[in-house]
Amino acid sequence: MSDTTTMDEPIYKTDALIAQDIDQYLKVHEHKTMLRFITCGSVDDGKSTLIGRLLYDSKMIFEDQLEALQSDSRKVGTQGQEIDFALLVDGLAAEREQGITIDVAYRFFATEKRKFIVADTPGHEQYTRNMVTGASTADLAVILIDARKGVLTQTRRHSYLAHLIGIRNIVLAVNKMDLVGYDQSVFDAIVKDYTEFATSIGISAFTAMPISGFKGDNITAASANTPWYSGPSLIEHLETVEVNSATDADKPFRMPVQWVNRPNLDFRGFSGLIATGSVKPGDAVRVLPSGKTSKVTQIVTLDGDLEQAVAGQSVTLCFADEIDCSRGDVIALADNPPQAADQFEATIVWMADEEMLPGRAYWLKIGTQTVTATIQQPKYQVNVNTMEHLAAKTLELNAIGVANLSTDRQIVFEPYANNRTLGGFILIDKISNATVAAGMLHFSLRRAQNVHWQATDVSRDFHARLKNQKPAVLWFTGLSGAGKSTIANLVEKKLARMNRHTFLLDGDNVRHGLNKDLGFTDADRVENIRRVGEVAKLMTDAGLIVITAFISPFRSERDMVRQMMQPGEFIEVHIDTPLAEAEARDVKGLYKKARSGELKNFTGIDSPYEPPQDPEMRIDTTVMTAEEAADAIVARLIP
């Protein structure tokens, strides 16, 4: 080939040069900052269309995707013969059929200045929980408003939730300006209405802009249709707004430990994602909740050791001392550690179809910590339309309330307003493993610091030796009329003849005193069993054999009581009587009243019973007499 080429001659690059170009491009791309944002608002405000337009204008659509989009737009689109950009995001068949977003759709795109992950969240009230999921990791929220409709209920709800989740960068995108003739007075009126509402919920600043997701006005460049608007286009604003990672780097160092990295005998490090702050070798750190201190000797990553690590990086830290540190612990600055407590006030967003049951034990996951938590009756529920605080006994789907909660051990935390990682949590149902709520911790309760366990000289082991027996809880569960009280009474009589120290807690008797303030709703049943469990625990500490006879219909509460006891001390006895047999006995006439509607929330009729899946004993009363059952139970307890 000659030193010069003509226009007709192609210029070829070697494989090495191509690889070099790709490597250079990836390095440039790697060092771009990342902005995570959500689009939210009411139904049909144009959220999916806006994201589709962003993907289209940023050249993030492949040719085959574009061809499919054009074909789908003709078949199921809502824009006549023009491209329906919403179809790029609405992937579910149900979404395309109904023209609404149901699930959270995440999309990635990039410009020359920044990378983006956008979450398209549903506008329908039924799917508010999905909006909370998308907002939980976002730096910015684009609140869309249909210029023809103005500020709606879901506009207020999503704005309140975005602010509650901790999103401080709000864009008010007044969409579909093309359908109102790009009228400035319409835009100004909507901004005025929204400003009044935003101020009332604590949003001090937001960026308002007139757009058309369908036509592309003010999306990637200033539109000639809105000469009265002098602000930035949407993409210009997204490229320059400050992301959370930048502000997190200025906060005190915090790193929840995800796992202990020990590949061989010569290396031991603690791996995790740095939530806030920065760390470098030589820094004095403290491990919480134990409080042990040491110094960082090495910051290890896959690409080599670092001289400094900052918020958003995943690293492995090595210490100068062999101190106890494991998953769930938090590594922090030695002279500026976070708090640890076991009782809190929190805002809770309920996300399950089943209502919240105060007193029920749930898994609480915060950072890398997982503990058991119970929630008290809400202090109040928030009406997101009026911001009014309403009295509430529980929380239902999509409800937002404030309540106190307690955990079975201390957790390391910071208020959510200061640290989203150590202040935000989810609640998980122990039986179904479904996420039922998301929450934000406000502060620890003063009594969490003021109330401590008082050491006593006479131990529970001494109480047991004094009575010459091993403490235990015989937990009888079964339907009403199954024979629990009858068998429990026989068991106690037999143990008394053997000079055993016992106490019988019967469901009806307890409701005459300790639990006389409780009814028979699911929430009251949960609290009934929680109180009985606490009493039974105190009695085992005194060395007694405790016999309980309660329907205790829910597995979660029976498991909660089991967790209160020492290993092996909780013996679950299922008095297994079929519903038809129990109803035939009906010695108290309760089933008859329940069938006629006189008695509400009756277990087995209009309230569920969850039989034990793996009890220590199962007593079939259709083949065994009460006397035989009592003998079998005593033999199981005292071989």
Question: Helix, strand, coil: what percent of the chain each, to 5?
Answer: 30, 30, 40
Contacts of 347 (CB under 8 A, 6+ apart): 164, 400, 401, 402, 439, 440, 442
Nearest in space to 142 (alpha carbons), one of 158, 154, 128: 158
Calculate the CA dihedral of residues 271, 277, 278, 284 and round it to 10 degrees.
Answer: -80
**Which residues touch 342 (CB under 8 Å, ≥6 apart)?**
406, 407, 408, 409, 410, 411, 448
Q: In what order do the strands lie in the sheet with 502-506?
A: 502-506, 545-549, 472-477, 570-576, 617-620
Q: Which of 314, 552, 556, 607 is catalytic?
A: 552
Q: What are phi and psi of 26, to 5 degrees?
A: -65, -35
Distance (Å, whole) CA 255 – CA 268: 17
Residue 97 and residue 18: Cα distance in Å, rounded? 45
Contact 401, 410 (CB under 8 A): no
Answer yes or no: are the C-beta atoms of 569 and 540 closer than 8 Å.
Answer: yes
Please answer whether residues 381 and 399 qualify as being in contact, where contact means their C-beta atoms are separated by less than 8 angstroms.
yes
For residue 256, whether the previous peptide bond is cis, meaning omega lies within 30 degrees of 0, is no
Determine the Cα–Cα distance for residues 524 and 252; give it in Å rounded to an integer: 43
CB-CB contact of 155 with 143 (8 Å): yes
Q: Is 166 in contact with 415 (CB distance < 8 Å)?
A: no
3-state secondary structure (DSSP) of residue 277: coil
Query: How would you classify the pairing of strands 114-120 and 105-110?
Result: antiparallel
- Measuring CA to CA, which residue among 337, 330, 414, 316 is closest to residue 369? 330
Rg over CA atoms, the chain: 31
Assigned token pair, 70: 């054009």
Query: Is 552 assigned a catalytic role?
Result: yes
**String of DSSP letters for 505-525:** EEHHHHTTTTTTT--SSHHHH
d(CA 103, CA 90): 9
Question: What is the spatial distance between Cα 539 and Cα 6, in angstroms, rounded to a whole number?
Answer: 97
List Cβ neighbours of 58 (8 Å cut-off, separation of 6 or more). 109, 110, 111, 220, 235
Residue 125, class by beta-carbon neighbours within 10 Å (0-12 exposed, 13-18 middle, 19+ buried)? middle
Sequence-ordered list of residues with C-beta below 8 angstroms from that of 569, at least 6 positions apart, any chain: 470, 471, 472, 473, 540
Instruction: Give the Cα separation of 47 and 217 in Å (integer).
Output: 15
| CB hemisphere CA count around 196 (13 angstroms) | 8
Which residues contact residue 298 at a Cβ distance below 8 angstroms, ignoring those fewer than 6 apart?
A: 269, 281, 305, 317, 318
Residue 495 carries which DSSP code?
Answer: H
Where in the sequence numbering do the catalytic residues fall? Answer: 552
